[in-house]
Chains A and B, each alone.
Chain A
Amino acid sequence: MKVTLRVNGQTVEAEGVWPGASLLTMLRDDLELPGSKNACEQGECGSCSVLMDGELVCACLVQAGQAEGRDIRTVEGLSGEGDGDVGDVQQAFLDAGGVQCGFCTPGFIMAVDHLLSHEPAPSDETTREALSGNLCRCTGYEKILDAVRLAAERRADGSAVATTGGAQR
């Protein structure tokens, strides 16, 4: 089947989608957006998190056709145009050491960006609750919490900048 939707602000069409496929599979395989990760396909890990009409959802649990006409934001939409460009939340993750193997990172980036857009200065408790649907097997979460604080501070004092050209480590 054919699905027409908006992804990161652009109207796109996916053709030949198997009706039983998830939005995640459609994004990765048909729309060539592999940023959203496939780790569990059962809603447990959050690595496939995207925004659908402004709500944070697991793309692996949305049936492809359910996304018809919807507005989807993926991690690709949070980074810049060029290869290696990163957005402010991504930069905060890099600076705080919140990325190890990186598999969970796109999902966390989406969840943190969603959180900070609703709650610019979240308490640690609020952050933990907001990120409770995202699992990380590497970092032990402390560095991820550091990254959230850093991203929030930088947004508050206006020093949040998306970085172009090659992520800085």
Chain B
Amino acid sequence: MDFLQPTSLSEALAMKAERPDATPIQGGTDLMVDINFDRARPSATIDLNRVPELMDIEHVGSDVWVGAGVPYLRIMRELQSDAPGLCMAARTVGSPQIRARGTLGGNLGTASPAGDTLPLLVAIGATAEVASSERGRREIPVRNFIIRPRHSALESDELIVRVRVPKARGPQQFGKVGQRNAMVISIASFGLAFDLDQRAVGTGIGSAGPVILDAPEANAHVAEVFSTEGLWDSAAPLPDGVAKRFGELVGQAASPIDDVRGTARYRRHALSVLAARSLKWAWNEHRETTKGTRA
């Protein structure tokens, strides 16, 4: 096994182009487990820890660009107001030791539908910027990043550079169901984001299908009720039944399977509950803050 250690993005991309078989390593919290257990024997690893371009957090207009190599711990410290939902999701990843090392680049790179930041990134309409030395940069919506479990839209000469995170334009929520509090792979997970400017709702569903899903009908239902009832302007309490219906529609959008972690029926139910609860929590939080600013 070769160990390659580039110190700039262009060097890293040149190495990846020359050695398409080489496996990038960032925090190692997914890859090292596979190497330790002999499930992966890459011919080479490319250590991305010393590529400064991947460590940046940059605010540009209405977006925050989060480097693929920024660990969760730093996301939680620095992006609380711009990306509250992402911070919530990051806080649920593994344990303090895992959050000190694990990154968005790795969560995307692993391409697991159980990746906990992905539902939230889908809900807010985030995109992954990837690059190759030959073709330069391109953006892939996170929604389309996973093609099937363990397979992403990344070409063999590409690296993930950063993630475009639109700054929060309303309340956000993330929730997951697992077997205990710390360190569990989720049985179902759900991200929700209100966009009060566009008067829209975004969703992302994890661990309940081969890829991360969204629930366009559920989103449209809430947006429509809110428009009919004038909630976007009044910030009045949620009308009866909206949260329940939202939950049902989210459950229907999922395509879960039975596996060791849970049955498809349980997952659908759990998602409905998570979604209904997230909607209530997010909207109540919004009402609290608007009350605060009006007072």
Contacts and interface: CB of A to CB of B under 8 A. Distances in A.
B109 interface: no
A61 B100 CA distance: 11
A56 B102 CA distance: 12
Given A41-B37, A63-B25, A22 B32 contact: yes
B131 to A, nearest CB: 22
Interface in A10-48: 18-20, 22, 41-44, 46
A49 B3 contact: no
Contact of B47 (A43, A63, A129): A63
B36 A42 contact: yes
A61 B27 contact: yes
Contacts, number: 87
Interface in A121-158: 129-130, 132-134
Contacts of A7: none
Contact of A43 (B5, B25, B73, B98): B98
Contacts of B35: 20, 22, 63
A62 interface: yes
Nearest to B182: A132
A167 B294 CA distance: 62
B97 A63 contact: no
B179 interface: no
6 pairs of A and B residues whose beta carbons are closest in the complex: A133-B95, A132-B182, A19-B3, A41-B36, A61-B32, A55-B100
Interface of B: 1-3, 5, 25, 27-29, 32-33, 35-37, 41, 45, 47, 49, 73, 94-98, 100-101, 181-183
Interface of A: 1, 18-20, 22, 41-44, 46, 49, 55-58, 60-63, 65-66, 68, 111, 129-130, 132-134
